[in-house]
Amino acid sequence: MQMLALERQGTVLEDGTVNVRGQPFGGGIHILNPTPLQKIIGKIQYDSERSKNEQDFRILIPPSKWELIKEYCLRHLKDEEDIDLETEPDRELIEEFFETIKVKLNLGQYTVQPQGFVIENNPVRSENAYARGQLTVHLYRIYEVQIVDPTLCQILLTISHLYSDPEVAALAQQDSDNYGKGRFNTVLTLPLDSVMDTYLALGREERYREITVEQHVLDESVLAILPDVDVPQYQRM
């Protein structure tokens, strides 16, 4: 049985409620050399102080510049040796694995295969904890990562079953009560067929939303890594 591993995030929101959802591993790429981007957009305005400090490509884009920014990203992200944008997934993957399961992933434990791009042209409200509510478009560089270390596979399955979603929510709340960021992240593993079947049971126009699989809520961004599930919101390249 092929399993899908997702990052499971518990986050205390501003209104005091706690959101728990599974989403793909990954995050904002780093801007290595801002000069070419500045020639297109002028002064770079980041969506949060965190993005600015980490040089994440999470920036404010005038609608008139979106097509130029999109072309810029596609051109640079196709080049594995690009010097302006981070084009490899390893750093983000290793960081998130350590954050979620406290395991230092090494290059011999997984394989990476590029799967193209997914573009979301129509703005939606961001669910990112650092820029919640901002109108956001997305350009995803998709990679298929396969864990080839059997021991690590077992660790992922075991940790996934340690926590129910309510327990993840309680741990996020505990972190908030202890003056932390109000977050708790772990891993979620689900049968890939179950995730696919749940989406495909919905009409094409109804799929772009949160779904529940085996009592776990999945973010709509999971659709980006499922090339066989078509949705009108995503352009696949």
- Under the banding of pLDDT at 50, 70 and 90, the label for residue 129 is low
Q: Where are the domains of the chain?
A: 3-26+89-236
Q: Which of 76, 73, 109, 72 minimizes the C-alpha distance to 90?
A: 109
- Under the banding of pLDDT at 50, 70 and 90, the label for residue 219 is very high
Q: Give Cα separations from 214 to 18, 58, 226 (angstroms).
A: 19, 32, 18
Percentage of residues in the chain having pLDDT higher than 70:
95
Q: What one-character DSSP code corresponds to residue 162?
A: T
The whole-angstrom separation of Cα 182 and Cα 20 is: 12
Q: What is the dihedral of CA 115, 119, 73, 143, to 10 degrees?
A: -20
Helices then strands, each counted (H, E), the chain:
7, 8
> Residue 44: pLDDT above 60?
yes
Q: What is the mean pLDDT of the chain?
A: 90
Give CA 43 to chain center in angstroms. Answer: 26
Q: What is the mean pLDDT of residues 95-104?
A: 90
Residue 47's pLDDT is: 82
- Residue pLDDT, tens place only, 104-116: 999 899 999 999 9
Q: Which residue has the tokens 């009409």?
A: 203
Q: What is the mean pLDDT of residues 141-156?
A: 95
Q: Which of 197, 177, 220 minimizes the C-alpha distance to 22?
A: 220
Residue 134's pLDDT is: 66
The pTM is what? 0.88
The whole-angstrom separation of Cα 201 and Cα 197 is: 6
Q: Under 8 Å CB-to-CB from 78, ≥6 apart: which residues?
A: none
